[in-house]
Structure 1
Amino acid sequence: MSNSKTSLAAPSVISDFKEITKMRLALSVVFSSLAGYLLGVDTVNYKTLVLLALGGYFMVGASNAFNQIIEKDLDALMNRTKTRPIPSGRMSVTTAFIIACIFTLLGIIILYAINKQTAMFGAISIFLYTCVYTPLKTKTPLAVFVGAIPGAIPFMLGWVAATDDFGIEPGTLFALQFFWQFPHFWAIGWFLYEDYKKGGFYMLPTGKQDKGTAVQTIMYTIWTILVSIIPVFGFTGELKLSIVSAVVVFLLGLWMLYYAFRLFKIMSEKAARQLMIVSVSYISLMQIVYVIDKFIR
């Protein structure tokens, strides 16, 4: 009997650990920072690549663990989050806090081993996500603007890790991922509107599932598309894009824009969910096109 208990406990400990650090989200962030690194580097240093992946993972994991500690009472109110480790009682706040602190230290130390600027941006992102974005979520829809800053850092962080320099190139990568987050977040805020309401979160720019929110989603999708093709014009220093790749990136943007218009037209939770799925595919495919373009140019 004790054997079966142990075998049941082990997977749940692992799955709780994955959930408190939001492993899937963390891995997508690591993907962004590695793409940024490959764009910025002349010759790939695999040690730096591994350090960046680990540091990035710890950074996001720490932010998510702190976030779940702060929001534990609100998470308990929402269907989407009530089974998380802390509100469900499977993990104590103390355990989560220890994980978050260890992850913060490891993340910053590992990023510092790459260079000081990378560690600094990593620390800024944890601070903004935990101390500014998380408390603002129940106060104002403007929280999404604040949350988009740490969310946009990883793509840029990769370039800074590669070059130890912050200029127009990482600035462009930051702007691209910054604008992208609004249609992405608002699509999530739309189809989880009722659930978010239970926790007192109003994530949509107008606070409602209305035309105003849909119009702003379209506008920010257009901004994302415009920023994504800027490197083809040669204004962005070492960050370049060939005409063929710019066309591909532009078409990917139109694909996302189609779903943003669809949300405006249909105004349904299903349309919002589709936009969210397309937005996730868009950001990964766009980064892959940028990286491939650099290495075949």
Structure 2
Amino acid sequence: MSTKNSSITVTSIISDFKEITKMRLSLSVVFSSIAGYLLGTQQVEVYTLILLAFGGYFMVGASNAYNQIIEKDLDALMDRTKNRPIPAGRMSVNTAFTIAVIFTILGIATLYVINPRTAMYGAISIFLYTCVYTPLKTKTPLAVFVGAIPGAIPFMLGWVAARNDFGIEPGTLFAIQFFWQFPHFWAIGWFLFDDYKKGGFFMLPTRERDKGTAVQTIMYTIWTVLASIIPVFGFTGELKLSIVAAIVVFGLGLVMLYYAIQLFKKRTAQAAKQLMLASVSYITLLQIVYVVDKFIR
């Protein structure tokens, strides 16, 4: 019996650790960073890739742990978050804070080994997410704009890790993921509107599930698609895109735009959920297309 109980305890500790660091989200960020690295590198170094993967995970894990400490009382009010480790009472604030600090140190140190510039952007990302985005979430819908900055850093971070330089190429990667954040998060804010409201979060630009929010979602989707095909025109330095790849990316963008228009027409939670899923597919497939295009061109 005691063996069973101890195994349950170990399982729950691992589960809570994954929850406090948001492992799934962290892994998607690592994926973006690696895609950016592969686009920027002239010769793939496995050592740097491993450092980038761990550094990226530590960086996002730290941000999420700080976020859950700050929002513990609000998380307890929402169905989506009330079972998180801190509000559910399975993890103390001190434990979560210890994890956050260790992850911050490990993240910045790991990225610093790659190069100081990568570590600097990693540190900026943690600071903006924790100290600016998180407090603003209950104050103003502009929080999404602020949150889009650390959210857009991973894709460009990979390029910076490969080149130790910031220019038009990582700037373009940043712009793609920056504009993409808006339809993605507004879709989430739409279908979780009632739950967010319990915690005092108003994530939509007009604070309501209305035509104004839907129109802005369409606009940012269009800007995302336009930013995504800019490299085909040849003025983004060494970040290039073949015509075939640009057509594929544009086609993927039209699918996301279709779901944004459907949200405008229907204005339902279901339509918002479909847009959210389409947005996740879009950014993942875009990064794959960009990388594959580079290596087969």
- When normalised by structure 1's length, the TM-score is 1.00
* 1:90 partner amino acid: R
CA distance in 2, matches of 1:250, 1:31: 21
- The aligned amino acid for 2:64 is N
Give the match for residue 249 of structure 1: 249
Separation in 2 of the partners of 1:6 and 1:47? 36
Report which stretch shifted further, 252-261 or 2-11.
2-11
Task: Work out the CA distance in 2 between the residues paired with 1:5 and 1:24.
Answer: 27
Task: State whether structure 2 residue 246 is matched by structure 1 residue 264.
Answer: no
- Quick one: distance in 1 between partners of 2:119 and 2:29? 16
Instruction: Give the letter for the 1:106 counterpart.
Output: L
> In the TM superposition, what are the counterparts of 1:235-246 in structure 2 within 5 Å?
235-246=235-246
**Per-residue deviation at 1:5?**
1.2
- Alignment partners' CA distance in 2, 1:252 and 1:120: 33
Deviations 1:93-136 (A, max 9, x none): 00000000000000000000000000000000000000000000
In structure 2, how many angstroms separate the alpha carbons of the residues matched to 1:4 and 1:283? 42
What secondary structure does 1:106 align onto?
A: helix
Q: Does 2:30 match 1:34?
A: no
Correspondence for 1:18:
18
Q: How many residues align?
A: 297
d(CA) in 2 for partners of 1:235, 1:203 = 35
Q: Aligned partners of 1:176 and 1:16: how far apart in 2?
A: 33
RMSD: 0.3
Aligned equivalents of 1:137, 1:159: Cα separation in 2: 30
Give a deviation string over 1:13-41, Cα, whole Å, max 9, x none: 00000000000000000000000000000
In the alignment, the residues of structure 1 paired with residue 183 and residue 260 of structure 2 have an alpha-carbon distance, to the nearest angstrom, of 8
State the AA in 2 paired with 1:254: L
2:97 corresponding residue in structure 1: 97
Q: 1:8 and 1:51 mapped to 2: Cα distance?
A: 32
Q: Counterparts of 2:31 and 2:24 in 1: how far apart (Å)?
A: 11
How far apart are the structure 2 equivalents of 1:7 and 1:162? 42
Structure 2 match to 1:148 = 148
1:187-222 deviation digits (Å, cap 9, x = unpaired): 000000000000000000000000000000000000
Q: Name 2:187's counterpart in structure 1.
A: 187
Deviation at 1:8, TM superposition (A): 1.0
Does 2:165 align with 1:174? no
Which amino acid is 1:32 matched to?
S
In the aligned structure 1, how far is the partner of 2:165 from the partner of 2:251? Answer: 31
Deviations 1:209-241 (A, max 9, x none): 000000000000000000000000001000000
| Structural mapping, 1:115-134, within 5 Å | 115-134=115-134
Shift of 1:139: 0.1
Amino acid at match of 2:85: P
Does the residue aligned with 2:84 lie in a helix, a strand or coil?
Answer: coil
3-state DSSP class of the match of 2:290?
helix
- Look up the SS of the partner of 1:207 in the other structure: coil
SS at match of 1:78: coil
Could you say which residue in structure 2 is the equivalent of 1:162?
Answer: 162
Partners of 2:295 and 2:2 lie apart in 1 by 55
Q: What SS does structure 1 have at the residue aligned with 2:295? A: helix
- Whole-angstrom CA distance in 2 between matches of 1:174 and 1:40: 13
Structure 2 unaligned blocks of 5 or more: none
Aligned to 2:282: 282
Match of 2:77 in 1: 77
What is the distance in 2 between the residues matched to 1:11 and 1:202? Answer: 35
Instruction: Provide Cα deviations, 1:166-190, integer angstroms capped at 9, x if missing partner.
Output: 0000000000000000000000000
> Cα offset for 1:2?
1.7
Aligned AA (2:272)? A
Letter in 2 for 1:55: G
Cα shift at 1:7: 1.3
Q: What is the percentage of aligned positions where both structures have the same residue?
A: 79
Runs of 4 or more consecutive aligned structure 1 residues displaced over 6 Å after TM superposition? none
Unaligned runs of 5+ in 1: none
Q: Give distance in 2, aligned partners of 1:99 and 1:7.
A: 22
| Alignment of 1:215 onto 2:215 | yes
